[in-house]
Amino acid sequence: MTRASARRHVVVLHTGGTLGMERDATGAFAPRAGALQRALAHLPELDDPRLPTIRLEEFDELLDSSDVRPREWQRMADRVAAAFAGTGPDGPGPIARPADGVVVLHGTDTMAYSASALAFLLDGLPGPVVLTGSQLPLVEVRSDARDNLVTSLLLAATPGWAEVAIYLGGGLLRGCRATKVSTHGFDAFASPNLPPLADVGVDVAWRDGLVRPPARGPLRVGRLADVGVVALRLFPGITADTLRNVLRDPVRGLVLETYGSGNAPSRDPELLAVLRDAVERGVVVVNVSQCLRGAVRMGAYAAGRALAEVGVVSGGDMTAEAALTKLLVLLSRGADAAAVADAMARDLAGERSPEPDAA
Compute the radius of gyration of the chain from its Cα atoms: 21
Closest CA to 350 of 74, 70, 120: 120
Selected catalytic residue, list 15, 18, 108, 110: 18
Closest CA to 197 of 121, 289, 128, 142: 128
C-alpha distances in Å from residue 247, one per residue of 234, 273, 288: 14, 12, 17
Element (H, E) at 338: helix 337-344
DSSP 263-274: B--SS-HHHHHH
* 307 dihedral zone (left: phi>0; alpha: psi -120 to 50; beta): alpha
Task: Return d(Cα 189, Cα 167) in angstroms, integer.
Answer: 9
Strands (DSSP E) contained in the chain are 9-16, 21-23, 29-31, 53-63, 101-105, 122-123, 129-132, 164-168, 171-174, 179-180, 189-190, 198-200, 204-206, 220-221, 228-233, 251-258, 284-289, 313-314
Q: Is residue 18 among the annotated active site residues?
A: yes
Work out the number of other CB atoms within 10 angstroms of the CB of residue 112: 28
Which residues lie across from 11 on neighbouring strands? 55, 102
Task: Return d(Cα 206, Cα 131) in angstroms, integer.
Answer: 18
Task: Return d(Cα 90, Cα 93) in angstroms, integer.
Answer: 8
Residues taking part in catalysis: 18
